[in-house]
Amino acid sequence: MFGFYRFAAASPKIKVADIAFNTAEIIKSVQECSEHEVSAVAFPEMALTGYTCGDLFFQPALRQEAMAGIKEIAAAFASSSMIIIVGAPFFWKNALYNCAFVLQEGKIRGIIPKSNNPNYREFYDKRYFKSGETVPDGTICMTSVPFGTDLIFSGGQDFSFGVELCEDLWGVIPPSSHQVIAGATSIFNLSASNALVAKSQYRRNLVKQQSAHCLAAYIYTSSGVHESSTDLVFDGHSIIAQNGQIVAENERFHRESSIIYADIDLQKLKGIRLSESSMGDAKTEKCFREILLTDVFSSPTIEYAHIDANPFVPSNADERDIHCEEIFNIQAAGLAKRLEHVKAEKLVIGVSGGLDSTLALLVCAETMKLLGRPMSDILAVTMPGFGTTDRTYNNALEMIKFIGAEFQEINISDACLLHFKDINHDPNIHDVTYENVQARERTQLLMDIANHEHGLLVGTGDLSEIALGWSTYNGDHMSMYAVNCAVPKTLIRYLIGWVAENSEKKLQNILEDIIDTPVSPELLPNKRNSKINQKTEDIIGPYQLHDFFLYQLIKYGAEPEKIYYLATIAFDKTYENKLILNTLKLFIKRFFQQQFKRSCMPDGPKVGTISLSPRGDWRMPSDACSEIWLKRLESIKG
């Protein structure tokens, strides 16, 4: 479903050289995978015989029984399109190979020999096995079975995979590096890596890094404790990773058969390769044969994948703190460079007491620290109007005072009333003109003050507002440098919270109250001491949803119906499906309609992988149509 495939990594209980027992255990594990609707399952290196058979590999009886076991496993699932990958020895033309057998619908669809056989200390593979690199490309064995290291298997529209074995991953250039260049979106590694102090962490990092380098799913499984313990112990480590993240991992040293599952979004991985990677320019001298398999079923549901409701915000607190510090430093460094370049005497900023202007003001303060300049070089301007409330006004004043910035207050009400008169607008009609007059009046004041003070006007608008075009053209849409332009609304709360945690108690209290204040432009009439009556999220929907939609659309190129489906999972207990669907439709409409604002947005620093700058990150015609995307949602009832 939507490019998701369910993968399994199995580490079965075995008896060394007992093919009948091992075959039965593997069949039992495959049956369990079938019940879990798995697309493909991998078993360890030499799972049929045991990796630690030693010189028994030279015995024809062992090898013959292993081949019989392979055929028995294949026959047991002749009516299934599930892919089964099993490790076993294979004798071909006077040499023995350590191989992975790819099985589907009762047939051996390909045999991949191990390329890099270790020959050090505890491992003596070269004593028994020849390198797969000696097998000529294009080799066919057993009458019609493709055999060699030049195989790529296609099991569906988004699912193509390669196979490597244990030491192959530890090599300087793993075979999987060539396989992904040839189009593989998934890599299966059949391993028998033994347990040593700290080795599991190194192994884990290898799998993570290779999945990141390859922008692929990486399914790794290894032999367990029932291998021979003559000199070594094996821990049965299984890992499934995608693009640098481990998504499933078992407990090592298990004494019974172990299986882990993961639903992997291969469509997403292909999207990243297309938009964020140079993989399309990568070349390999290795030529591959594409083996066309019967399409396997993709995941009918998503049970073994975590869909993050806040993709811009790391869920781990320590990681989140690191990200917040990094983003804050990027913002301040960018502003410091611009301030030095234009030789401005002041930073001018409009402060409303809302989230965006608060973060921008904090960035201004950090910039002054970087440059060794006084906080009085920041001119913070509050411009109360018809909708300003005491809560935001007082928070703005207290924050400005604590930071030590120069303060200026200009009430815009009279100027706006005069402007209404000039353009013949009835001030009792609270329409878009009524609101935009205020936004443009504030921006005009800030621009002119910046000129008067030989200063630089710092913009406060964030990535979420830019995506939706939720700003007044040539009003809050415009500035001289926009420090928040790549920071989404959901992340801004955490950034301010991070600053609060590292601040004195008084500032911390102010910032925490700002975080708790509803998002509002405060443009509609309101009494100063009353509660906010114009809440942005009541109008356009939750920013949490909009940020989720933005992330899926821009980073992965996800289709609208897929975005909706993922959102229903991520927000299952938070928002009703109808709200999700309506908000998604509004997001798509506004994202297309408001591109003209992004086409002339001011400079600002990119802080994450997503930015909508027209100069590099997002190039889209201002008059592009949204019909294709909206039409995809017509059949969804919500």
**Ramachandran assignment for 298, one of left (phi > 0), alpha (psi -120 to 50 degrees), beta (any other):** beta
List, as own/partner pairs, every contact residues 67-74 make where C-beta atoms lie below 8 angstroms and the sequence separation is at least 24, other chains included: 68/19, 69/19, 69/20, 69/22, 69/23, 69/26, 70/101, 70/103, 70/108, 71/108, 72/23, 72/27, 73/23, 73/26, 73/27, 73/30, 73/103, 74/103, 74/106, 74/107, 74/108
Question: Which H helix or E strand runs over 146?
Answer: strand 145-146
Token digits of residue 525: 């009439």
Catalytic residue among 33, 53, 166, 485: 166
Q: Is 585 a catalytic residue?
A: no
Catalytic residue among 13, 25, 33, 45: 45
Among 43, 9, 562, 589, which Cα is nearest to 270's? 562
SS3 content of the chain, % helix, strand, coil (to 5): 40, 20, 40
Among 185, 148, 187, 181, which Cα is nearest to 169's? 187
Catalytic residue among 114, 346, 562, 585: 114
Contact 535, 367 (CB under 8 A): no
269/243 Cα distance (integer angstroms): 8
109/98 Cα distance (integer angstroms): 17
- DSSP state string for 239-253: EEEETTEEEEEPPSS
Locate the DSSP E strands across 398-488: 406-409, 455-459, 481-482
Q: Is 398 a catalytic residue?
A: no
Helix runs in 77-137, H state only: 125-128
Q: Is 45 a catalytic residue?
A: yes
Contacts for 535 with CB less than 8 Å, ≥ 6 apart: 518, 519, 520
303/163 Cα distance (integer angstroms): 25
Contact 48, 10 (CB under 8 A): no
Question: Which H helix or E strand runs over 591?
Answer: helix 577-593
- Helices and strands of the chain, counted as H and E runs: 21, 22
- Give the 3-state secondary structure of residue 188: strand
Question: How far are the Cα atoms of 152, 234, 289, 594 from residue 292, in angstroms, in the given order?
Answer: 9, 35, 9, 45
Contact 245, 138 (CB under 8 A): no
Residue with token string 């009541």? 538
Contact 121, 232 (CB under 8 A): no
Among 280, 275, 320, which Cα is nearest to 609's? 275
Report the catalytic residues. 45, 114, 166
